[in-house]
Structure 1
Amino acid sequence: MSTSETLQSFIDIQLSADKLSASLLFHASDPQFTCTSAQLEELARSHGVLFGLKKDVLEKIADEPRAFFSGQTVIAQGVPAVNGEDGFIRFVCDMDEDRQRPAELEDGKVDFKQISRLKNMKRGQLIAEKIAATEGRPGRTVTAETIPCRSGKEAFFKVGKNVVLGPGQNALYAAIDGLVTLTDKHKINVFPVYEVNGDVDYNTGNIDFVGTVVIRGNVLTGFRVKAAGDIRVIGGVEGAELESEGSVEITGGILAGNKGCVRAGRNVKSSFIQDGNVTAGEDVIVSQSIMHSHVRAGRNVLCGGSKGLVVGGTIMAGERVTARTIGNTMSTATVIEVGVRPELRAELQELRQQVKRLGDSLDKTEKALGLLDQLAAVGQLQGDKLAMRIKLGATKRLTTEEIAALRERVFEIEKSLENTDTARVDAVHTLYGGTKIVIGRSTRFVKDPTPRVSFRYAEGDISMVPYY
């Protein structure tokens, strides 16, 4: 009888179902039993165990068999197969649209208006990169059989509109400024227009987009829309904040309630403006009326149409204000200013306030220096008072220099106010009393209604001539 047959009367070798492990089991307990590790290895091989034998375990069993009489002992371990991981497309921004949540502020509060996180992209900016698949690693059973594995599948870009692949075909970039959007079959696109099919409210939140924004509804009070392109609103605008580097067009008009503002780098077009605050780098064009509003335009404010009414508030334009009717029969105070860019008038007002504040500060400094000079004249200026005198002297010099610089800028702006050759105010139908006309540095108050009239600057004053 062979050694293996002798050992088999005491020991059984069992393989797991997946052949990834082999275990030794004593089915007879004899205190006189002895064996060597080589004999145990020969027994295992006779059962087909050819790979992954744990020789250190076999030596322990041979040294002290009694410790292994009960239970099973793993004596060989195979290597499982490892499948490769599939490649995938990793986006720079989160493309999961369903995970929009209100923004949490630094103090822990939640801003429910700040939930839109548009996937804005600048031209040339990385949109996504391809992560390569990995190869699988085959396994091996304790019987020395190879366990097959599966390698990962490569991912591929589904290229849509306005995107380009990088040189290595492993990265995708934006070809234009716009919004990253996944369309059918997960095509990746960059669109230059962002559309809101409804109102800008708590469902959409504030909007900040690098292209053009089209809103097919209203913009409600308290919300903000910012666009690097144009903003087009099919509905109306309440007391909201709209800011565009291009133009703003509002079909339904502005009913702001003296809240929010509309600012455009170029033009603002609206059917009407009521209790609003509107600023345009070029023109403000209104088809019906401007009522009790503050309107500023770098070039022209034009209020035409069958109504064409401007009443109340302040209208400022760099060149011209034209309306069918200015003011009303109740002589509502209406201010029309032309001949200088509105931002220069605002700067001039701020400069004059700064000069006044600095002048008041300079007066106080000079009075304090006067008292210290009197002490110095009688030899009583020492220690802290001497240091204060030096400090106040330096302050006086700096303040004087700053006032001089501000006055020079004031003079420059005032000179520009005199260049009013193209400035004019036109009332195509009627201009009513209560209207204040400002052209450059000159002011004229209108007390009585006047039909078809035009105001221009001539020979140092505002002249009133028939409109043509």
Structure 2
Amino acid sequence: MSIYYPLFTVLYIYTFIMNKFSPNFNGKLSKKVFILLKFADNFLMSNCELKITLSEDDFKAYADFIPAVGEGAELSILYVKSALAEAEITEGLDWDLINSTIDYCNSSKKVRTGVKIATGTKPVSEVPAHWNLEEKFFKNAMGLDLGSGQIDYHEVSKFIMVKKGELIARRDNGRPGVNGLSVKKKIIPFKKKKIIQFSNGRNTAELKGNLYAAISGRYEVSEDRDIHINDVLHIEHNVDYSTGNISFNKDVIIEGEIKDGFKVAAGGSLYCKSNVDATDILCRKNLVVDKGIIGRKEAMVRVGGKITARFIENCHVESKSGIEVEKNIMNSKVFTLGRLDLGENGSLVSSSVHSELGVIAKNIGKDGSPNSEIEIGFSYIDKRAIDSISQRVEVLKEKLGKLNKLPEYRKTDKKLDLIKQIESVISRGSAELEEKKKSLYKYPDATVSVSGTIFAGNIITICGVKYSLTEDKKKVKFYLNKESLRVESVPI
């Protein structure tokens, strides 16, 4: 019953009495008021309503919950189920939320809009079987000092080196795809996840779902995404900021230049098809440079095998085998356990040479240039060892002399023991020094051959015997006369 019915009844009785007993009463006005109140009652009473909207893909359903007004029918589960059935929504309904919203709207008489009442089931993408690379092979934080945030770009390298037996990737067997459902229970087809597929290539080994390096070398991925471990590092351009310093345990081939400031270390041979702006070059076997080796500041080139280059300038080079230079060596320090060979066209200018087996050159020296000093017939490594021992012995002798000069009252037992220990070390060091000196000059047959001109002022030392040129000489070979122990020359 409407809350206005008692009021209507009272008003009706009042109008009836007044019309009967009061001729001046305006009954028509009272009837108009009655009609107006009756209309207001109808307007202020309405049933509940549920307005449903769907997302474009029918994956989500939203509803506006509108409660009843006055004596209208209230929201109920039955009413909501009927509305959902009419909208064909059956999947992913949130009944807890629906029930709580119904209770809220009925009790508070407030409207709730945009309530997400249903969500479909998402499809699960198919994941094909694939290799999962270890973090080392895709993470790029090399050369980054995480503490300071500073980067030494010389140390940043795009080359990844691996050791034999190192884990490269783990096999992921993937998973099948699962279709999804919309809120109307329509199938949502699953998709195939895009995975970068890699294949095991050269010098890799697959074992129990893991991929390992079969050799030590450089990790590389081909254009076909085959994973290879190469025992040759092939750099098709310069060694510079794009590559960083290079360290590889096998052969290295460089198509471009080695730029100033960058270091290269090769466990095998190093081949460079352009210039080497040497900073620090180290290779265990041979160094072959198609053009020249140019040193900067404290540049050092150390090679376990042979050095071959067109020219060498302003550089410190060491070779345990031999050195072949096509043109010139200028302003350099050269050390080799083999022979320094500049051939028929090469010149040696303003340089220091220590060559165990001798020197071959067209010219030595140049008008107006500082002289060169050439020492041959001995190992520069043995000579360094002798110099090192000699230096240590001299330091100990100086210390011993200071201890011996102490007054007797200051020569405690501890200091006397120290004096004895130093004397013992000096004795052993001196004996070792004499033995090494005896065996230092192993190659008295080493020679210096000049097919062009050797200029006055240059110095040649063979097995410790020095000879200074006082005049220019042409087409000549210098050797050690073992009887006279003098350096002499003969025409060639």
User: Normalising TM by the smaller chain, what interval?
Assistant: 0.7 to 0.9
Distance 1:313 1:12, change over 3 A: closer
Match of 1:182 in 2: 222
Task: Map Cα deviations across residues 425-466 of structure 1 (whole Å, 9 max, x no partner).
Answer: 334455444343333344444444455223136258345353
Does residue 464 of the first structure (1) align with residue 473 of the second (2)?
no
SS of equivalent residue, structure 2 residue 122: coil
Mapped to 2, the partners of 1:137 and 1:398 lie a distance apart of 83
Q: 1:349 aligns with which of 357, 364, 387?
A: 387
Amino acid of the structure 2 residue aligned with 1:260: A
What secondary structure does 2:439 align onto?
helix
AA matched with 1:417: L
**Identity level (%):** 20
Partner of 1:309: 347
Counterpart check, 1:280 vs 2:319: yes
Instruction: Assess, with a 3 A threshold, how the Cα gap between structure 1 residues 182 and 368 changes in structure 2: closer, same or farther.
Output: farther
Cα 1:11–1:395 change in 2 (3 A) is: farther
Separation of aligned partners in 2, 1:435 and 1:110: 47
Structure 1 residue 52 displacement after superposition: 4.5
Q: How much does 1:73 deviate?
A: 8.2
Query: What residue is the counterpart of 1:363 in the other structure?
Result: 401
Which residue in 2 is equivalent to 1:251? Answer: 290
Of 151, 154, 157, the match for 2:198: 157
Equivalences for residues 63-462 of structure 1 within 5 A: 65-67=106-108, 69-72=110-113, 77-78=118-119, 80-84=121-125, 86=127, 89-92=131-134, 93=136, 111-139=152-180, 148-150=189-191, 152=193, 156-159=197-200, 162-168=202-208, 170-171=210-211, 173=213, 175=215, 177-178=217-218, 180-183=220-223, 185-191=224-230, 192-197=232-237, 199-201=238-240, 205-238=244-277, 240-256=279-295, 259-305=298-344, 307-327=345-365, 333-368=371-406, 370-373=408-411, 389=412, 392-393=415-416, 395-450=418-473, 451-456=475-480, 458-459=482-483, 461-462=485-486
* Cα deviation 1:331-359 (Å, max 9, x = unaligned): 95332222322122122222222222222
Q: Which has the higher contact order (CA 8 A, sep 6+)?
A: 1
1:157-192 residue CA offsets vs partner (Å, 9 max, x unmatched): 2455x3434134652636562352432x43444442
How many angstroms does 1:280 deviate by? 0.8
User: 2: CA distance between counterparts of 1:166 and 1:362?
Assistant: 65
Amino acid at match of 2:371: A
Aligned-pair Cα RMSD in Å:
4.2
Is the CA contact (8 Å cut-off) linking 1:431 and 1:453 kept in structure 2?
no
C-alpha separation in 1, matches of 2:51 and 2:90 = 9
Contact 1:22 1:49 in 2 (8 A): no
Cα 1:200–1:34 change in 2 (3 A) is closer
Q: Counterpart of 1:166 in 2: which secondary structure? A: strand
Residues 152 and 415 of structure 1: CA distance in aligned 2, closer, same or farther (over 3 Å) = same
Deviation string, structure 1 residues 177-224 (Cα, Å, up to 9, x no partner): 2352432x4344444242343x55556554434444444444444333
TM-score normalized by structure 2?
A: 0.72
Post-superposition CA distance 1:391-421 (Å, at most 9, x none): 5456445544543454344234213214335
Report the Cα distance in structure 2 between the residues aligned to 1:288 and 1:153, rounded to whole angstroms. Answer: 57
Instruction: Give the secondary structure class of the aligned counterpart of 1:417.
Output: coil
The 8 Å contact of residues 312 and 333 in structure 1, kept in 2 or not, is answered as: yes
Q: Deviations over 1:111-161 (max 9, x none)?
A: 45444432334454444445443444554566667655446467642455x
The answer to which of 316-325 and 450-459 deviates more is 450-459
Which has the higher Rg, Structure 1 or Structure 2? 2
Distance 1:372 1:141, change over 3 A: same
Matches of 1:261 and 1:228 in 2, distance apart?
17
Moved more, 451-460 or 143-152: 143-152
CA distance in 1, matches of 2:53, 2:369: 105
Give the superposition deviation at 1:71.
1.2
Q: Look up the SS of the partner of 1:357 in the other structure.
A: helix
The letter for the 1-side match of 2:234 is Y
The CA distance in 2 between the partners of 1:352 and 1:368, in whole Å, is 25
Separation in 2, partners of 1:320, 1:247: 20
2:180 and 2:126 mapped to 1: Cα distance? Answer: 16
Q: Which runs of 5+ in 1 are unaligned?
A: 1-7, 374-388
Return the letter of the residue paired with 1:118.
F
| CA separation of 1:14 and 1:369: change in aligned 2, threshold 3 A | farther
8 Å CA contact 2:466, 2:487 repeated in 1: no
Which string of whole-angstrom CA distances, capped at 9 and with x for unpartnered residues, describes residues 310-344 of structure 1? 34322112223233344456795332222322122
C-alpha displacement at 1:264, in angstroms?
Answer: 1.6
Q: Distance in 1 between matches of 2:104 and 2:365?
A: 113
Structure 2 contact 254–271 (Cα < 8 Å) conserved: yes
Q: Figure out how many residues of one structure are paired with residues of the other and give that number.
A: 439
Alpha-carbon separation, structure 2, partners of 1:422 and 1:43: 113
Equivalent residue for 1:54? 95
1:428–1:467 CA contact under 8 A, matched in 2: no
Q: Give yes or no for contact 1:193–1:212 (8 Å, CA) kept in 2.
A: yes
Aligned to 1:379: none
Aligned pair in 2 of structure 1 residues 61, 158: CA closer, same or farther (>3 Å)? same
For the residue of structure 1 that corresponds to 2:397, the secondary structure is helix
Q: CA deviation at 1:27?
A: 4.7
Partner of 2:19: none
| Aligned partner letter, 1:415 | K
C-alpha separation in 2, matches of 1:303 and 1:247: 17
**Counterparts in 2 of 1:337 and 1:137: CA distance versus 1, 3 Å:** same
The letter of the residue matching 2:218 is G
